[in-house]
Structure 1
Amino acid sequence: MSEVIYEKRGKIAYITLNRPHAMNAIDEAMHEQLWATWQDFDADDDLELAIVTGAGNEAFCAGADLKTHATAWVDRSADALFPRSKIKDGLGGLTRGLHRIYKPVIAAVNGWALAGGLETAMACDIRIASENAQFGSFEPRRGYHHGDGGIVRVVNTCGVGVALEMNLTAEPIDAQRALQCNMVSKVVPQDQLMEAAEEMAAKILRNDSWAVRSAKETILDVIGMRLDDQLAHEAFTGYSGLANPTVTRLLQNFAAKTDKGRVGRNKTEL
């Protein structure tokens, strides 16, 4: 049985972490399958968006499976080059290494997102959580801390205060607290989770794919820049969009008031 279920339905890729007996923890085999899956998703021109979730109702992902990873990490702890080699090999690829995929990725967080599972969820662009979702940084209980984007992305998305609380206490936060601190966009009942993720996907897919990918690339690029550099970069990428062949047609439709779902007056259908 595959540890990663990869389904293509129209423009959407559905990616399911499939080790429910281990809370969907990522072992070496799943790590390699995820790399291959993300590479295929990025290369497939028919796919525009991915939805990631975990099998079962207990966990989205409990992080790296320490039964398979811990021994290798400890054995290489004296290897000065080991951290450098890991920089290109983030957990499952999406956290680091394949993080520059510009197609949108939505996480449907159906339960526990712990350690590397939190990092995997945070590596997605938008997170929808079920009511029973929990998010935790438990690594400090075992003598280390996040190394695959968990600190960086929580700081960038939720702020320093939330990152400090989660990493210094190693206590989880529930879905409602995650909503309050901007970690997730929406909290829904468990049986409505995929429906909510697909509704979010539909809102993205009604937009021009070039514009969506350029916006994601620009957002990732401007993190940490000086304000003047951020503004210059946004202007460059934004006005470069005028070369997008669909822009002329869409702007003409807007001027003629023939475009669908004019914001503020008519509902934009999905």
Structure 2
Amino acid sequence: MLIATDRAVSGWMAGRWRSSTAATLHPRPELSVRPLSVTHLDVTVMHHLMRGCVGARRRRRGTHRGIEACSVPKVLYEKRGEIAFITINRPEKRNAIDTETDDLLFRAWCEFRDDPEVRLAILTGAGDQAFCAGADLSSHVDGWLEGGPGLGRSLLDRGFAGGITRGLHRTTKPIIAALNGWVIGGGIELALACDIRVAADDIQFGFYHMRRGMHFADGGIVRLVNTCGVGIAMELELMGEPITAERAKEVHLVNRIVPRAELMSTVEDMAAKILRNPRAAVESAKETILEVAGRPLDDQLRLECLYGYSTMGNPEIVDRKNAFLAKEAP
């Protein structure tokens, strides 16, 4: 039913799959993925998160349903060294997230969280039209409308986009969003759930969900307030208008805007600079920032002190201190 464009998918896959048979899923507990060998990247492991293989099972919000076979993956998960590249692969739907893609993202985020060899994730969308257009209305809205008054309570444990907006949001590993196209509705919530956002200079953010009678419910309002402030959150959410990348940078919705051709190289350079720092310090710093946000000053100072000095037991600090002093020695 959902076939991506030949240029976007076949070109991407041609350089990474050895053959169509190499992409066959190998089920294992809780995560139906299989590491694939890649011909041109010595240290790359590709996880082909497909719609499923015959007989595979998946978990979705407390239920188990079989996954139908499909030739096109909706989520791509690629390991290159210490970085996991996660790509929403529905360019023909502007990378809107249907229930199936939501489940595959849940698996991808769990894989990222639990893999000790991976320290950082880069999230983007396939193609050049959209990063993510939010929830696929054809698969989500009917279920929400039929959910009744207990709908919100039933969804508390797992938010949107595989739960990274709520539920799996506590991972201490950094996540960078490479915003390569339109960011719409729940796609904004997904982008805000990432720690750093870099946008191509020609993209826009669409708050069109308000025009359809819905406001953010999966972290969008909370993170808009924390990131942009109450006034900007009110303006963007209540008006339901699109904004440019320049305006997004102005209100701190994104960290940087760069020419489209430089987007991925910029994000990968930022990732490399994060990875050169000791893992314990990076993860503790992220956790500290998230913990202190919105708290009273005295609580913030106490938490910063406790978290910051807890890293001093890391033996890597001694090694790096000695290396620095050796360079400074006359």
Q: Could you tell me the TM-score, scaled by structure 1's length?
A: 0.92
- Distance verdict in 2 for CA 1:169–1:246, change over 3 Å: same
Report which stretch shifted further, 156-165 or 204-213.
Answer: 156-165
1:206 aligns with 2:206: no
1:61 aligns with 2:96: no
Report which stretch shifted further, 127-136 or 59-68.
Answer: 127-136
Q: Deviations over 1:1-38 (max 9, x none)?
A: 11101101111110111011110000000000000000
Partners of 1:114 and 1:170 in 2: how far apart? Answer: 11
Cα deviation, residue 139, structure 1: 1.8
Q: Deviations over 1:163-202 (max 9, x none)?
A: 1111111001111111111111211111211111101101
- The 8 Å contact of residues 138 and 167 in structure 1, kept in 2 or not, is answered as no
- The 8 Å contact of residues 18 and 55 in structure 1, kept in 2 or not, is answered as yes
| Other-structure match for 2:195 | 125
Letter in 1 for 2:313: A
Provide structure 2 residue ranges, at least 5 long, that are not aligned to the other structure.
1-71
1:190 aligns with 2:265: no
| Other-structure match for 1:45 | 116
Partners of 1:165 and 1:196 in 2: how far apart? Answer: 30
Q: Deviations over 1:67-88 (max 9, x none)?
A: 0001100111x2x332112111
Alignment of 1:17-32 (within 5 A): 17-32=88-103
Cα deviation, residue 251, structure 1: 2.2
Root-mean-square deviation (CA, aligned residues, Å) is 1.3
Partners of 2:324 and 2:309 in 1: how far apart? Answer: 18
**Equivalent position SS for 2:122:** strand
Partners of 1:213 and 1:15 in 2: how far apart? Answer: 20
Partners of 1:183 and 1:254 in 2: how far apart? Answer: 37
Letter in 2 for 1:176: E
Cα deviation, residue 258, structure 1: 5.4
- The 8 Å contact of residues 136 and 166 in structure 1, kept in 2 or not, is answered as no
1:174 aligns with 2:244: yes
**Equivalent position SS for 2:303:** helix
Higher helix share: 1
- The 8 Å contact of residues 137 and 146 in structure 1, kept in 2 or not, is answered as no
Q: If you compute each CA radius of gyration, which structure gives the higher value, 1 or 2? A: 2
| Other-structure match for 1:215 | 285
Partners of 1:99 and 1:159 in 2: how far apart? Answer: 21
- The 8 Å contact of residues 226 and 294 in structure 2, kept in 1 or not, is answered as no
**Equivalent position SS for 2:79:** strand
Letter in 2 for 1:238: G
**Equivalent position SS for 1:47:** coil
| Other-structure match for 1:136 | 206
Out of 237, 254, 259, the position equivalent to 2:324 is 254
| Other-structure match for 2:39 | none
Larger RCO, structure (CA 8 Å, separation 6 or more):
1
Partners of 2:113 and 2:256 in 1: how far apart? Answer: 26
Partners of 1:63 and 1:90 in 2: how far apart? Answer: 13
Partners of 1:258 and 1:211 in 2: how far apart? Answer: 23
- The 8 Å contact of residues 137 and 171 in structure 1, kept in 2 or not, is answered as yes
Letter in 2 for 1:162: I
| Other-structure match for 1:152 | 222
Cα deviation, residue 256, structure 1: 3.6
Partners of 2:300 and 2:325 in 1: how far apart? Answer: 30
Letter in 1 for 2:145: V
| Other-structure match for 1:84 | 153
Cα deviation, residue 131, structure 1: 1.2
Partners of 1:117 and 1:66 in 2: how far apart? Answer: 13
Report which stretch shifted further, 99-108 or 249-258.
Answer: 249-258
Corresponding residue pairs, total: 257
1:98 aligns with 2:164: no
Partners of 1:9 and 1:250 in 2: how far apart? Answer: 25
Provide structure 1 residue ranges, at least 5 long, that are not aligned to the other structure.
260-270
1:5 aligns with 2:67: no
Out of 294, 302, 314, the position equivalent to 1:224 is 294
Cα deviation, residue 132, structure 1: 1.6
**Equivalent position SS for 2:135:** coil
Q: Deviations over 1:98-123 (max 9, x none)?
A: 10111110000011111110000010
Letter in 2 for 1:47: V
